Amino acid sequence: GLSLLIAGTLGPIIGWRNCFYILGAIGLILALVMFFVKETPRKIVSQSAPNLLENLGLKERFKLLYKTLRNTPVLIYMVLAGVIVHITLGGLNFDQLWLVQERGYDRAVIATLTGIIVLIAGVGGNLFGGIAGDLFVTKFNQPRAMFLFWIALVAAPFSVVYRLVEPGSVWIPIGIFVGAFQVGCFWGPVFATVQELAPEKIRATMIAFYILTLNLLGLAVGAVITGISI
C-alpha cells in the first residue's frame, strides 16, 4: 500500500527509478531500527521439549524439517495452499497495468487510490484474520484453515465481478478492497497453524521454509507466468 502511494504521488514528479530508491532507503532504515530492538526472552519452556535449547546443526535441522513435512500432511497442504495463493498475488503485480490500459484510469490516480485501499483493507484484514480466526477455532472447534475457506468463499464473487464490470464502476475499488482484505486475513491463521504443527525445535526453520516457498514458488512463478501470458 505504501509503495503504491509513493508511486502515485511521487512517481510523476521524480520518476519510477527514484521511487525505488526511496522505498529501498525506507527498508534500510526499518532494518536498522529492528537491529536495535531487543527480543523478549522466553520465560516458559514447554515441558514436552526439555532439550529445546539444544543446538541443532544445519543438517539435523533439514532432516527434522523433512521428517516433519513427511509425517504431517496438513503442513504440506498449508504450504501448497499458500503457494497457490501467492501465484495469484504474483499475477496481481500487473493489476496497475490492467487498470490503466484496459480500464482507463490515470496512472498516478489509480496508484494512489489503490495504495489507500490496500493500506486500510490490508491492515484491517490482518487484525480481523487474527482475532476472528482465534474466535472461530474456539467457537466452532474447527481448524483455522476452514476459517480461511469461508473468507475465500465470501470474497470470490467480488473478485470475479470487478474484473467484468465497465470502466469507472464502483465495483472496481470494492473488488480491490475485498481482495486486499482477504489477503490480510491470510497471514495470522496460516502462521498460527504452522507454529502449532511444527516441532518447537524447528519452528523458526519451518516458518523460514514456508516464506521461501511462498516467494520462490508462489510470487515469482505467478509474476513470470502472468508476464509471459500478457
pLDDT at residue 53, as a whole number: 45
* CATH code matching the domain that covers 67-229, chosen among 1.10.3720.10, 3.40.190.10, 3.30.1280.10, 1.20.1250.20: 1.20.1250.20
CB-side neighbour CA atoms (13 Å) of 200: 12
Do 126 and 184 contact (CB within 8 A), yes or no? yes
| Phi and psi, residue 170, nearest 5° | -65, -20
Instruction: Give the pLDDT confidence of 47-86 residue by residue, as tens digits.
Output: 544 454 456 677 888 888 899 899 988 889 989 989 998 9
> So where are the chain's domains?
1-37, 67-229
Q: Which residues of 131-140 are buried (b: 16+ CB within 10 A; e: fewer)?
A: ebbeebbeee
Q: Is 94 helix (H, G, I), strand (E, B) or coil?
A: helix
pLDDT at residue 20, as a whole number: 79
Instruction: Give the pLDDT confidence of 131-188 residue by residue, as tens digits.
Output: 999 999 999 998 888 999 999 999 999 999 999 999 889 999 999 999 999 999 998 9
Over the chain, what is the mean pLDDT?
85
CB-side neighbour CA atoms (13 Å) of 101: 6
Residues 188, 195: Cα–Cα separation, whole Å: 11
Q: Give pTM, 2 decimals.
A: 0.79
